[in-house]
Structure 1
């Protein structure tokens, strides 16, 4: 079985530890756990890991957040992976910091990366793991908030949160969507 896990974020050192790069941070730790490195490929940084007989292909789109769908559509086709085996890891302001929620489908909820994926995959029927980054911003300052770095207190908590996210990803690839949602969604 083959899976495509796409962690969303923006490339460049100025975005590295921002809330909007939660997807990149999760996949970076997953690759580190499996002692593999990302290489720059077409439209994405790419690596592959193996877990319990599964081939798990990890991508971090290099298209910037708002064009994430372009990279995901390309890699699904390139690797001949069906949309049913796609999981998108994305930041979510509607969830409290540290919350993790997996869903089999859903709206973009105003997230431009998800909007682009919906557009290019013709629908909302793909799994996503939302990483809660909270909503501690003033009215009209949402973009500044997601493009700012995690606070020092949040940064201390990130390894544990990212570790739980990676447990959920591996569970998704081995146990499936339903059992993973039952076990991990709070």
Structure 2
């Protein structure tokens, strides 16, 4: 497996830019900056796209503009165009069940209630893609979850989330090289609670 497509999940527009639900976009923006990528709107992919080069591997970066709950349409369109298999896709998203400051990577699994993943699994008809889960924490009960994810984190939470994003950027080359055991161990060592 070699990652050929990295997707940051989020919602488009200024109103959502700093919300917890947009950490996938934050990651892709930082990765594009690190590797001299320049996002451009691509209507045929229903998103903003740039190509970067990591260790001589061409990687497509995608930020869907379909809104979170319809992310699968964007992911499917670019994956089909570039003939990218599900196991060559890394989706970066916010994770309620992980504390801020923690990032974890895994392959497959359920959507865990995340509507962006739920739609992606439905559209791609598989769970066999990789996920980089950036912890945003949980509000404590189910009722305010929508308000929680569609809101700006506190300064303390933001610092921790940013740290998890930075740690994730530091291991992206190992992700591309398929050194996932090393990535898992490295991210565990850098957890901030």
> Which one of the candidate residues 69, 80, 83 is aligned to 2:83?
80
Conserved 8 A contact 2:48-2:62: yes
Partner residue of 1:15? 16
**How far apart are residue 178 of structure 1 and its match?**
4.2
**Secondary structure in 1 matching 2:15:** helix
Q: What is the alpha-carbon root mean square deviation over aligned residues? A: 1.7
For residue 27 of structure 2, what is the aligned residue in structure 1?
A: 26
1:114 counterpart = 2:117:
yes
Gaps of 5+ in 2: none
Alignment partner, residue 131 of structure 2: 128
Deviation at 1:175, TM superposition (A): 3.1
Distance in 2 of aligned mates of 1:136 and 1:181: 26
Which residue of structure 2 lines up, in the alignment, with residue 65 of structure 1?
Answer: 68
CA pair 116-139 structure 1, distance change in 2 beyond 3 A: closer
- Residue 75 of structure 1 aligns to a residue in which SS? helix
In 2, the alpha carbon distance for the partners of 1:185 and 1:88 equals: 19
CA pair 2-87 structure 1, distance change in 2 beyond 3 A: closer
SS in 2 for 1:24: helix
Distance 1:73 1:59 in 2: 11
Count residues with an aligned counterpart.
186
Cα shift readout 1:3-33 (whole Å, capped 9, x = no counterpart): 1000000001110011000100011001111
Provide, for residues 17-69 of structure 1, a one-character-per-residue CA deviation record: whole Å limited to 9, x for no partner. 11000100011001111222200012010001101111111000000000000
Normalising to structure 1: TM-score of the pair?
Answer: 0.93
Change (3 A) 1:12 1:137: farther
Structure 1 runs of 4+ aligned residues shifted over 6 Å read: none
Secondary structure of 2:175's counterpart equals helix
The gaps in structure 1 that reach 5 residues or longer are: none
